Amino acid sequence: MPNQLTDATSPYLLQHADNPVDWHQWGKEALTLAESTDRPILLSIGYSACHWCHVMAHESFEDAATAEVMNRLFVNIKVDREERPDLDSIYQTAHQLLAQRPGGWPLTVFLTPHDQLPFFAGTYFPPVSRHGLPAFVDLLEGVANAYRTQRSEISEQNQAMLQALAGLNPDGGRHQQLDTMPLEGALDQLSTSFDERHGGFGQAPKFPHPSHLALLLRSWAQSRVDGREAPRIRYLAEYTLTRMVEGGIYDQLGGGFCRYSVDPEWMIPHFEKMLYDNGPLLALCCDLWQISGNRLFRDKSLQTAEWIRREMQSPQGGYYSTLDADSEGEEGLFYVWEKAQVELLLEPDEYRHLATRFGLDRPANFEGRWHLHTFASIAELNERYGSSGESARALLESARHKLFSAREERVRPGRDEKILTSWNALMIKGMARAGRLLGKPACLSSAEAALGFVRQNLWVDGRLLATHKDGRSHLSAYLDDYAYLIDALLELLQCRWRVDDLAFAIELAESLLEHFQDRNQGGFFFTADDHETLIHRPKPFSDDSTPAGNGVAALVLLRLGYLLGNGTYTEAAERTLHCAWAQIRQQPYAHATLLEALERLLLPSETIVLRGEGEALERWHRRATEHYAPRRDVFAIPANCEGLPQLLAARRATEVTVAYLCQGSHCETPITSFDNFETRLRQSECVT
C-alpha cells in the first residue's frame, strides 16, 4: 500500500512511495503526528543517485519486518537533501556534533517529537550487525527504549545541542582589519596536502574541489602580474585537472565528471554524475584551455558541454539534477566493459591503441571488468605502434564513437529530473563560459534556454523557488539559489549584453539583501527571513561540495556594486568578509570562495564597460577577454542600448568606441584609442 510520498516531486522520495514503511514528507502533518503520539521522529535524508541510499532501501526499507518496527516505534520522515538543503545542513552538522565524525548519505537521525532536536544520529546501518555497526532493527529498538527511559538525559543533551548550534554563527568582526594573509595560508595548506604523484589534495576518497583549483589559477595569474611568477601554483591546478580528465572519474566515452574517486589515482569513481560538479569543472577546463592552449582541456570542455546538452537538458530548457550510480541494480554497470566486448566492436588497430591507452591490456580494475582510465600518453602510443600524434588521436576517436554507440544500447542509469535553481545557475555559468571561451554559440544558447526556464517557472512574485518537477515548482529558495543565479547572470552579460538580465540580477540582489542579510552581524543566512522556523538558521561560510553561498553572495555584490556604483552592495559584501574573518583566518583553504571575494576587495579588480557599435565593439570586446584575467569583468554595451541604470547610461559612446575602465570604485579617464586600450590591458593580465 502506498505511503505518504506518492504526491512528492522528488524522484528520491517517489522511489520510496511503495515501501511498507509509513513514510511522511517533512511538514506540519508529520511533525504534529509525532508530537501528538509522543513517538520520536526517524529522519532519513538521501538523494536519488546515492548508491548506499539504494542499498539501505533494499535491505531495510523494503523489508516488511523492519518496516513494522519502524512504523510501531517512530514517525518516519523521508527527505531529499537536494530539495531541502536547509534540513540536510542542519542535521549533518548535528550528526557531526553527536558522533564526532563527518556524516554523509543516507543520513539517519532520531529527533525528539516536540522540538525536532536530534538525540542520536548515524548514516548507513546494515540489516545484520557487521563492520562494527549494529543491526538496524536492534538500533531502532535501542533508540526507542532510550527515548522512553532516558528523557532527562536526552533533554540535557538537546539543550547542549542548541547551544552548540547557536555558537556556529560567528559574531561580526567589523573592527578587524582585512588583509591578504589568508591567501598565502590557503596556498600553503594546498601545497602541503598536494598529491605529487596523482594530483589532487589529501588521500582517497578524492573529490574535485573546483574552488581550490580556481584559487590556485587566480593566485598564479596575480604572481605574473606582480612580476614574481609562481609556476608551481599553476602546476598544482593544471596537473590535478589533467589527471582528473584523463582518469576514470571522467567519462572517457560520454563526457562529464563523476562525483568523486574512491582511490588516489582518480581511477574508479563513485559513478553518480551530479550537475553541481560539472558546471564549475566545465568552467575550469575552459579557463585552462585559455591559459595553456592545451587541446586536452578544449576537448574535455566540448565533450562535457555536449553531454550536458544531450543528456541533462530538458526540452523546456532547464537542466536535470543527477545520473544514478547504478543501473540494473549494479553500481557502474553502464560504464564498465568486458575485454571481449571491446575487441568485437573495434578494428585491430583501434583496439591496440585504445587498450594500451585505457588499460585493457592490464588486469581488470573494477570487479572483474574494465573501467576506462588513461595509462599511456599519445607519445607512448606513437613510440609503441609507430603512429603519428594525429593518426593515434583519430584511431582513439573512432574507437570512442564505436564504444559510445554500443553503450547507448545498454540500460541507462536512472536520471533525477528535478530542476534545481542553484544547480542550474552553476551550469548556466559553466555553459556560458564555454560559449564565450570556446566560441561555441550552442553552449551559450543552452545557457540562455536554462535561464529562460528559471525565469518562467521558478521566479514568482519577485521571489525564487528552489525546485521544479513535472510542471510543479515549489519550496522557497535558499541563499545559494539567489547568489549563484546572480553569478550566472554576470557571466552571461559578459557574453552578450541584455538589459533584462541586468535588471533581473538587480532584483535578485535586492531580494537577497532584504530577506537573507544579517543586518546585525553581517553575512547572509542560508534561509530567508520568512522561511519555516527550524532548530537552527545556519550562516554557511565554508565551501562544501558547492561554493559557499556567503562567498558567492559577497563576490557578486562586489561586482554588481562596482558595475553600478552601488555602495550598499559593496558594503554588504565587506561586512560578510568581516563576519567570516575569524573562520577564514583559522582555515583559509576551506573558504576559497570567500577568498575570491577578498581578492576582489583588496587586490586590483577591473570593471570594463565598452560602448560602441558593430564590428568595432566586438573587436574591443574580443581583445578584453582574450587572455585569462580572473578579476576582470567586461561588458560590451551597444551605443543605442536604452533602459540602463544611471551610471551605465552616463557612459555613452560618441562616434567611436569608448572603454570605461575602473579599478574597484576608482574609474580612469575613458579610452578611445584601441592602441591605448591594448597597452592598458596588458598591465593587469597574464599572457602565456
Q: pLDDT for 171-224, tens place per residue? A: 766 668 999 999 999 999 999 999 999 999 999 999 999 999 999 999 999 999
Mean pLDDT of 517-534: 96
**Which distant-in-sequence residues (6+ apart) come within 8 Å of 599 by Cβ?**
180, 183, 218, 222, 605, 631
Is residue 29 included in any domain, yes or no?
A: yes
Is residue 656 included in any domain, yes or no?
A: yes
Report the distance separating Cα 338 and Cα 152, nearest Å: 59
Q: Which band of pLDDT confidence, cut at 50, 70 and 90, is reported for residue 268?
A: very high
Last residue of a domain, one of 409, 433, 457: 409
Angle at 325 between CA 320 and CA 331, to 5 degrees: 160
Structural domain harbouring 62 = 11-166
Mean pLDDT of 593-604: 96
Whether 686 has a pLDDT exceeding 70, the answer reads: no
Mean pLDDT of 596-601: 97
Mean pLDDT of 221-232: 93
Is residue 148 included in any domain, yes or no?
A: yes
pLDDT given at position 249: 98
User: In what helix (H) or strand (E) does residue 667 lie, and over which residues does it extend?
Assistant: strand 666-667
Last residue of a domain, one of 364, 392, 409: 409
Is residue 300 included in any domain, yes or no?
A: no
Is residue 209 included in any domain, yes or no?
A: no
Q: pLDDT for 539-550, tens place per residue? A: 999 999 999 999
CATH of the domain at 53: 3.40.30.10
Q: Which residue has the cell 532493527?
A: 137
Closest CA to 430 of 482, 340, 491, 493: 491
CATH of the domain at 381: 1.10.10
**Which distant-in-sequence residues (6+ apart) come within 8 Å of 209 by Cβ?**
200, 201, 543
Q: How many other CB atoms are there within 10 angstroms of residue 367's CB atom?
A: 12
If one counts the domains in the chain, the total is 3
CB 560 within 8 A of CB 600: no
DSSP E strands in 123-266: the ranges are 258-261
Q: How many CA atoms lie within 13 A of 667 on its CB side?
A: 16
**Which distant-in-sequence residues (6+ apart) come within 8 Å of 568 by Cβ?**
513, 561
Q: Which band of pLDDT confidence, cut at 50, 70 and 90, is reported for residue 132?
A: confident
Residue 310 burial by Cβ neighbours in a 10 Å radius (0-12, 13-18, 19+): exposed
Q: Which band of pLDDT confidence, cut at 50, 70 and 90, is reported for residue 131?
A: confident
Q: pLDDT for 39-66, tens place per residue? A: 999 999 999 988 899 999 999 999 999 9
| 19-33, 168-182, 449-463: range with lowest mean pLDDT | 168-182
CB 320 within 8 A of CB 272: no
- Mean pLDDT of the chain, nearest integer: 96
Helix, strand and coil content of the chain, in percent to the nearest 5, comes to 50, 15, 35
Q: pLDDT for 604-650, tens place per residue? A: 899 999 999 999 999 999 999 999 999 999 999 999 999 999 999 99
pLDDT given at position 604: 86
pLDDT given at position 614: 93
Angle at 409 between CA 406 and CA 411, to 5 degrees: 130
Mean pLDDT of 519-536: 96
Last residue of a domain, one of 376, 409, 442: 409
Three-class SS of 303-372: HHHHHHHHHHECCCCCECCEECCEECCEECCCCCECHHHHHHHCCHHHHHHHHHHHCCCCCCCECCEECC
pLDDT given at position 685: 79
Strands 23-24 and 75-80: parallel
Peptide bond into 134 cis (omega under 30): no
| 7-16, 81-90, 210-219, 653-662: range with lowest mean pLDDT | 653-662
Rg of the chain over Cα atoms, rounded to whole angstroms, equals 26
Q: Which band of pLDDT confidence, cut at 50, 70 and 90, is reported for residue 687?
A: low
Q: pLDDT for 573-590, tens place per residue? A: 999 999 999 999 999 999
Q: pLDDT for 341-363, tens place per residue? A: 999 999 999 999 999 999 999 99
Mean pLDDT of 370-393: 96
Q: pLDDT for 465-507, tens place per residue? A: 999 999 999 999 999 999 999 999 999 999 999 999 999 999 9
Q: Which amino acid, one-letter code, is at 659?
A: A
Is residue 147 included in any domain, yes or no?
A: yes
pLDDT given at position 176: 82
Report the distance separating Cα 427 and Cα 446, nearest Å: 10
Whether 688 has a pLDDT exceeding 70, the answer reads: no
Mean pLDDT of 263-274: 96
> Bridge-partner residues for 78, per DSSP?
44
Q: Which band of pLDDT confidence, cut at 50, 70 and 90, is reported for residue 652?
A: confident
DSSP H helices in 363-464: 378-385, 389-407, 421-438, 441-457
Is residue 239 included in any domain, yes or no?
A: no
